């Protein structure tokens, strides 16, 4: 096992919901595993789950587990809700509550786990997450470097710069920005990566679109990039 990533990790957040946080997270997990790094995925709460035998099925949590090469789904995603809403509201509709203390505890490695910790939030950085906090509050509690995922489309610069400012105001380290090619071609001349590199003092990664479960073409490059930003 590589020791280069021992004790390190990332908190993955987005400019919005549905921007590809799980796709990017899975690619990172696979890339690091290919380099011999032990990985510990967590997505402590997931809403919009479907009913399945044995309870609610967390699609994103299951994908992270598969990308990590195994693990316990109960540890990866312990809270699951049916309504495709912010987790705090989805929890209330399920007649329960989730609190930051519990989410923070769920994100910690178990005694038998060691390696690179990847924690995925739910929705955007300032989206409600628990009765007493936002995704941003969980990120502060965990203190991990933050990786911001955004769709590579027209208009996203404003969302990225606002979120980057919110991250830095909380004295968190913005490790990098991933421009996910999930929105289709933009207008002629659009170059969000170049425009961001002029305005943010942080690494920018252009992530090519991949199908669910498919490996990105540049696994080595992705692993090298993650190691470089930590």
**Cα–Cα nearest to 227, from 25, 37, 70, 23:** 37
For the chain, the DSSP string reads ---TTTT-EEEEEESSTTSSHHHHHHHHHHHHHHTT--EEEE--EE-SPEEETTEEE-HHHHHHHHHHT---HHHH--EE-SSSS-HHHHHHHTT----HHHHHHHTSPPTT--SEEEEEEEEETTSEEETTEEHHHHHHHHT--EEEEEE-STTHHHHHHHHHHHHHHTT--EEEEEEE--S---STT--HHHHHHHH-SS-EEEE----TTPPPS-HHHHHHHHHHH-
53 counts as catalytic: no
Count the neighbouring beta carbons within 10 Å of the beta carbon of residue 227: 17
Q: Which of 21, 43, 168, 227 is catalytic?
A: 43
* CB 86 within 8 Å of CB 46: no
User: Which residues are annotated as catalytic?
Assistant: 43
């Amino acid at each position: 096992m590589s020791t280069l990533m021992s004790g390190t990790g990332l908190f993955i957040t987005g400019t919005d919901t549905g921007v590809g946080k799980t796709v990017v997270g899975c690619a990172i997990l696979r890339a690091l595993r290919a380099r011999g790094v032990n990985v510990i995925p967590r997505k402590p709460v997931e809403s919009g789950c479907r009913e399945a035998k044995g309870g609610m099925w967390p699609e994103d949590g299951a994908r992270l587990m598969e990308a990590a090469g195994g693990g316990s789904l109960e540890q990866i995603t312990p809270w699951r809700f049916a309504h495709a809403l912010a987790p705090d509201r989805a929890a209330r509709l399920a007649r329960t509550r989730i609190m930051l203390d519990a989410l923070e505890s769920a994100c910690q490695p178990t005694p038998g786990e060691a390696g690179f910790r990847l924690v995925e939030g739910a929705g955007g950085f300032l989206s409600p997450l628990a009765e007493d906090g936002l995704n941003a509050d969980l990120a502060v509690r965990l203190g991990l470097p933050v990786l911001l995922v955004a769709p590579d489309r027209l208009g996203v610069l404003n969302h990225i710069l606002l979120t980057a400012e919110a991250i830095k105001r909380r004295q968190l380290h913005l490790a990098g920005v991933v421009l996910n090619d999930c929105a289709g071609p933009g207008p002629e001349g659009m170059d969000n990566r170049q425009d961001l590199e002029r305005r943010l003092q942080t690494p920018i990664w252009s992530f090519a679109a991949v199908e669910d479960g498919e490996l990105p073409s540049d696994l080595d490059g992705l692993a090298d990039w993650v190691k470089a930003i930590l």
